[in-house]
Every structure is written in C-alpha cells, then in structure tokens.
Amino acid sequence: MQLSENFNLLDLTDENKTTTTLDWVKAFVLLGLAAYFAYNILTGNLTNYINTRFVWLSYLAVVIFGILGGASIYALIRHDPMVRDSSHTTVSWSMLGLVALPLVLGTLIPSQPLGASAVDGNIDTRVATVNGASAITKDPLTRNVLDWLRVFNQTDSPASFDGQSADLIGFVYREPDFAPDQFMIARFTVACCVADASAIGLPVTWAGAGDIADGEWVQVRGAFQAADFRDTIMPILIADTVDIVEQPEHPYVYP
C-alpha cells in the first residue's frame, strides 16, 4: 500500500513538472507575441500585412498578450498551486505549437510587401465601382491606380479619357506576350489583410520600357490614349517620363 502511494506521488510530481514546463513555455510564447507585434508596429512592417485602418488591433494585441504573459510568469514565480495543478491546464503542447507557429514563421521569414513576384498571372484592369464618385472628384494628378480604374468603370467610352494627365506610382509587371515597349504599373489592394490581396494595374507604353526590370517601383507621368491592349480597347498611359523610386511607406492601396 505504501509503495503504491509512493508511485502515485512520483507520478503526480512528474505530471506537475511537465505542467509547470508547459506553463512557462506558454508564458514566454505570449510575451513573444506581444514583442513581435510591438516590433512590427515600431518598424512600420505592420502595413506589409494589414490594412492601415486595422493597425489599432495590433496595439490591442500587444497589451493583451503582454498582460497574459506577464500574469502567467508572476503566478509561476509565486508558485501559485492553480498554475501547477494539471487539472487547471487547458493548453496542450500541440495547441501551444499552433499558437507559436506564426511567431516562429514571422521571426524567421523577413517581412516584405507583396510585389510583382506575388502576382499569379491574374492582374485586374477593372474593379468594383465602390467609392467611384469620390475618385471622380479627386484631382486627376493625385489619383492612384485604383482611383483611375474606378473612374474608367464609370463610362463605356475609353476615348473620353484621351489626353488626361496622370502621375502614378506602382511596381512594374509584365506578361510574356507584352510588347517590348509595354508594362503594367501595378499595386495590390488590401481590404483587410494580405489574405484578401488582389493585384490591379494599368497598361503603360514607353519606349524605354525594356530598361526597367520587373518589380521595380516607378513613378510614371504621362497622358491616356485609348488603344488596344490584349484585345480590349481601354485607356493606355502613354508615358512621358518613367523614374525609378523607393517603395512607398504604404505599398498597398485600400478599397
């Protein structure tokens, strides 16, 4: 009887040690998540992943993960029996691994926005006309790629934009069947996060197009002229100048 009780006590001790280890790992994962969100906020990398209007959620995540992680460590240091008792442990190693996986991947994989290499061969030249009215009222020289596509969708007459000037920033994208003097000036739209990202673009014609590599960020100034592009008559931006520029602080456009 005494021997049986000793074995039970030993099993309980081993179980408590395992539980305590799991709780320590859980606490550090929570603090790690808080630090990861804080790092992305401070470096500006956060907008590589989400729409700017949801950034406040990341601030909230820093606070929540920090409080949870700090409270867990405080309880462990105080040897709180509720923490050590396995009957109160609701997190398994497998569940903890799933929670930690985004932290590991986010730490190991450098943060970078979607660009030309992320386009899957499908780039939209027509978009929904949501907020189309606000795009029309903008100064044409302040419209971005998304604004122009919305304006184009307001009419069935591509030639009505002939001669209108534009000043656009985007990355260079090409398909194999493009003419040597053609490329698309493109951006990704992000409604919520990169999971719903969609590539959009406008065709550009410029004699020096072959000198610019795919994926380069450029500023294109010129005027539109209706012409055939991949068997569709649409406004083509005839470039006067194309300059290589730095990637914008916010590389996405938001519908």
pLDDT for 95-136, tens place per residue?
878 878 878 888 887 778 888 888 977 788 877 555 556 677
Q: What angle is formed at CA 233 by the lines to CA 230 and CA 239, rounded to 5 degrees?
A: 80
Residue 79 has pLDDT above 90, yes or no: no
| Tokens describing residue 113 | 């926005």
Residue 246 has pLDDT above 80, yes or no: yes
CA-based torsion, 233, 150, 222, 230: positive or negative: negative
Residue 23 has pLDDT above 90, yes or no: no
pLDDT band at 1 (very low <50, low <70, confident <90, very high): very low
* Residue 86, pLDDT score: 44
* Residue 17, pLDDT score: 52
Rounded to the nearest integer, the mean pLDDT of the chain is 84
Strand-strand pairing, 182-189 and 233-244? unpaired
* Residue 128, pLDDT score: 58
* Residue 241, pLDDT score: 96
| Stretch 220-243: mean pLDDT | 94
Judged by phi (left if over 0) then psi (alpha if -120 to 50, else beta), residue 230 lies in left
CB proximity list for 126: less than 8 A, separation 6 or greater: 149, 152, 153
